[in-house]
Structure 1
Amino acid sequence: MSVNYVGLALVLNCGSSSVKYQVVDTTQDEPLAVGLVERVTHHSEAIREIIAQLSEPGSGVDLTTLTVVGHRVVQGGAEFSAPTIIDDEVERKIAVLAALAPLHNPPNLAGITAARAAFPDLPHVAIFDTAFHSTLPVEAYTYAVDRHVAAEHGVRRYGFHGTSHAYVSRETARLMGRAVGDVNTIVLHLGNGASACAVKGGISVDTSMGLTPLEGLVMGTRSGDIDPAVTLHLARTAGMTPDEVDTLLNRHSGMVGLTGYSDMRDVNAAIEAGSHEARVGMDVYCRRIRGYVGNYYAQLGHLDAITFTAGVGENDPVVRAGALAGLEELGIEIDPERNAGRKKEPTLISTDASRVQVWVVPTNEEREIALQSIAAVS
């Protein structure tokens, strides 16, 4: 889809207890306004607070000139594969999909309902985290479980962080001076949640998160890939309930389970202080990324770029170096000087001799939501 339409979008990212917002003018690089409403008990109150903040003198925003309200929605299932103008039926379907994202879709939906009431004359567009991955081939999204059970219960790979992967892969191609359709990229979105994505000519063909955001890379508090029988083993030997196993794998695993820390800055400090557990945790984290890079390199057949993004990817040179260490024979070589430090701007960190370019590109999901929302109503 085109992303060159012009307009002014209010972008809402509604969680259970907070609402993040931006006002994006697509003709300008920086947002007109950025804000956060915390301790949300009713999303209608949060929307009223946002309107009050944006109506203050000096806010730089004229709400009467808004083109669209764009909403982040985590799970679109197989139902939604593109930006979707919201009506009552779309709201109903988002509510049904809450079974696949019980922590995310309900607050996303509450924000949509409140915002539609507050801005009844504006179009509202849902941008789904899963939509970018709707292009996965059947062999990439299919799990090897009984096909009848899978079909009845929606068991398949959906993938997440799609808005970020879409923005970053397109930006990488632009920075390389090439058309996005001519570039194969592996995007590594590394934050507290983390995922990898193989992007072939601008199209997602594989991604590490699955039915839920638990699968794939090691994350801040999530395990990523494990033997599925671990869950059964814990139920049988530790007497853990499904909810207890769910909590263990989502909240007490990953880096916090391995090292005691979910923040990579703390992990790095512990490594410098001589912590064996922190060193092992970092090695596990980077090894998992390397495995996905090798897998996706093979799936793509030809690789032009690897791009790091999100909080860890943009700010941690130790992770970036460790994640791609030893891949020189694959034409992947990081320049230590270029890699050093945090990257607030897009930066090429590979050597001049590296066949595969390695980039750090700060993600901008809110801008991507604004661009897609405006395109949907233009």
Structure 2
Amino acid sequence: MSHSPTLFDPVQVGAWKLPNRVVMAPLTRNRAPGGIPTAIMATYYGQRANPATGAGLIISEGTPVCEQGYGYSDTPGIHTPEQVEAWKPVTAAVHAQGGHIVCQIWHVGRISHVELQPNGQAPVAPSAVRANAKCYLIKDENGQRSGGFVDCSEPRALGIDEIAGVVESFAQGARNAIAAGFDGIEIHGANGYLLDQFLREESNRRDDAYGGSIENRCRIVVEVVRACCDAIGADRVGLRLSPVMEGNGAVCDPQAQAIHEHLLRQLAPLGLAFLHLIEGQTGGARDHKPFDYAALRQAYRDAGGKGAWMVNNGYDRSLAEQSLAGGADLVAFGKGFIANPDLTERLRRGGPFNEPDRATFYGGGEAAKGYTDYPALG
């Protein structure tokens, strides 16, 4: 007799045989001063990598692929030799536990501030449309580092002659991630950041090959994904999407269903390892806007897409196993992994679950508090 998979069953995802279907979602923590990963990050990720108690797959925090890609202070990059070297102890710590980790490669586009941009320049975007959103700045004042959220700066539109460079920055980020010891990458195409900005008409008002029609708005995403597949192999590449998420200034596109079905039909032949879908509003209602995720998955499958289907947003064990029974392959958990390094074992037992200290979500440098000091089950 066949049975639906559980969270605790193994699964083949691209190049990796994963011990369970629990994924640690990317979680920005702002603990890499100067964009350089730190020693305590190795402890943090290693704590969550034991395949018996933690994530079958870890997706790293968002990791900018170029200097223009930063929108928050102290996020670790993947575009310099120093950063690549600093990531190696982190990936080694995960592999020492028997775990798998992919690097979420990231360009924030207009969700940035001039203080975070090279030479104080304006952030770049599909169009010169300012986001009604915040970014996070950490400043040094008399030797004291303090952080807070500030309004995003006015962006400038990318010139069409600059887009190939953006695409290549993602491909080089993928190569750098492999050099740093990551098992693969997740391309960040969600949450109102640069690639997602191209998909939405509110933020993309171009009239060239990258704007206007659904095909044109999807073009840069397809180019980035193809370039990364060419760089490191499609079986080590995933893509994150958030079709109806509203946040970071993003407005739900009236053609969201058609846009994402077209996009996935274009990507299906590439042989991606996984697709990571945020259902509804990140950290909020799963049904705040109508969207047929089953139809999106079917469009992908009908076009020959075989990559694992990862779901995300507000999952507990019961809802996760309903989704697995309905055709999902992986379930991503975010905040739960902040406070529970052994979240998979806690899900298996039905709890108890540590509550995260929200005051320590962002920043903290090398301090353990709220980062590596949450207890595991005895």
Q: TM-score range by the shorter chain?
A: 0.3 to 0.5
Higher helix share: 1
